[in-house]
């Protein structure tokens, strides 16, 4: 391929948190970036029709939508409510013509039953897959860093994600590889290879040392300790040729001018990827 590497860059909306969806789309287009990762609440706020119009006007593709999931509540009532939300999320994702919806599977419930919570993820997924399939949306299981096992996701490794995905066609259930979440895993390269065509999203950010904050302390690629080359190579060899999405949760970055952040990200992207 003879394309400009920048063609693969996608900006996840959280990286430019202070911008609205419209500002994000316009800001990326101005910076000659043609992919964005969007968040459901912003799509909902902007409206599906207006979002589609904005994307078309700026020749902008959506590399992923964040996020459904949260399957792990103790009570049947709460789980059912989460699934209602999930179906709505699938509708919104399909509505804007994106086919990758992230699943953040849910943290440890009140009962502290970690094994039970993992079973609940399996059950919740089984219930959701047919609905997503009918609407042409692929569910991307995202293992989160074990740091987030308590709060956000009892699914914390690629191996676990692959096991969850195994009963389904890769057309329906894939895996999201995010460097922050998987870089530490001694099995990461093997498991990305095993994942093959199930890799349907690749998000990148760096691990800062020391970590400034458990949740809001992620770094721009190049600022931390992650060696991106082997991970990117593994993802590419697995067959993934889609967007590389820069998703950064960081309070310091959020306090900066988004247009400047995008310029820094572009420069780093050219250096690192």
Quick check: 132 and 139 in contact, CB under 8 A?
Answer: yes
Shortest Cβ 124–its own copies spacing (Å): 17
Nearer to its own copies, 130 or 150 (CB): 150
Nearer to its own copies, 117 or 139 (CB): 117
Secondary structure (3-state) at 17: coil
DSSP string, 152-200: TBS--SHHHHHHHHTTS-TTTEEEEEEHHHHTT-TTHHHHHHHHGGGEE
Nearer to its own copies, 62 or 108 (CB): 108
Nearer to its own copies, 99 or 223 (CB): 223
Shortest Cβ 110–its own copies spacing (Å): 9
Shortest Cβ 70–its own copies spacing (Å): 15
Shortest Cβ 11–its own copies spacing (Å): 24
β-partners of residue 38 are: 65
Instruction: State the residues that interact with its own copies by CB under 8 A.
Output: 107-108, 112-115, 118, 145-147, 149-151, 156-157, 159-160, 183-186, 207-211, 213-215, 217, 224-227, 230
Shortest Cβ 212–its own copies spacing (Å): 8
CA dist 252 → 15, 25, 249 (Å): 11, 22, 9
Nearer to its own copies, 27 or 224 (CB): 224
The values of phi and psi at residue 167, to 5°, are -70, -10
CA nearest to 183, candidates 204, 165, 200: 204
- Cα(114)–Cα(153) distance, integer angstroms: 10
β-partners of residue 11 are: 36, 246
Nearer to its own copies, 107 or 258 (CB): 107
Structure tokens of 85? 């939300």
Shortest Cβ 22–its own copies spacing (Å): 32
């Amino acid at each position: 391929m003879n394309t400009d590497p920048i063609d693969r860059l996608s900006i996840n909306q959280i990286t430019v948190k202070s911008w609205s969806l419209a500002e994000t789309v316009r800001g990326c287009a101005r910076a000659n970036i043609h992919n964005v990762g969007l968040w459901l609440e912003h799509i909902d706020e902007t409206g599906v029709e207006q979002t589609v119009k904005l994307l078309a006007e700026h020749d902008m593709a959506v590399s992923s939508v964040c996020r459904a999931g949260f399957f792990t509540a103790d009570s049947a009532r709460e789980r059912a409510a989460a699934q209602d939300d999930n179906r709505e999320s699938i509708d919104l994702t399909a509505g804007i013509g994106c086919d990758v919806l992230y699943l953040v599977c849910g943290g440890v419930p009140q009962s502290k039953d970690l094994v039970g919570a993992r079973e609940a993820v399996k059950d919740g997924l089984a219930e959701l897959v047919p609905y997503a399939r009918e609407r042409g949306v692929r569910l991307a299981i995202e293992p989160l860093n074990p740091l987030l096992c308590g709060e956000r996701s009892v699914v914390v490794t690629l191996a676990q994600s692959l096991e969850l995905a195994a009963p389904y066609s890769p057309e329906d259930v894939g895996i999201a590889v995010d460097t922050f979440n998987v870089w530490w895993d001694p099995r990461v390269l093997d498991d990305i290879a095993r994942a093959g065509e199930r890799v349907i999203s690749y998000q990148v950010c760096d691990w800062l040392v020391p970590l400034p904050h458990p949740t809001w302390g992620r770094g721009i690629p190049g600022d931390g300790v992650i060696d991106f080359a082997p991970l990117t190579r593994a993802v590419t060899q697995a067959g993934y040729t889609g967007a590389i999405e820069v998703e950064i949760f960081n309070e310091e970055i959020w306090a900066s001018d988004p247009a400047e952040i995008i310029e820094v990200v572009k420069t780093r992207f050219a250096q690192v990827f």
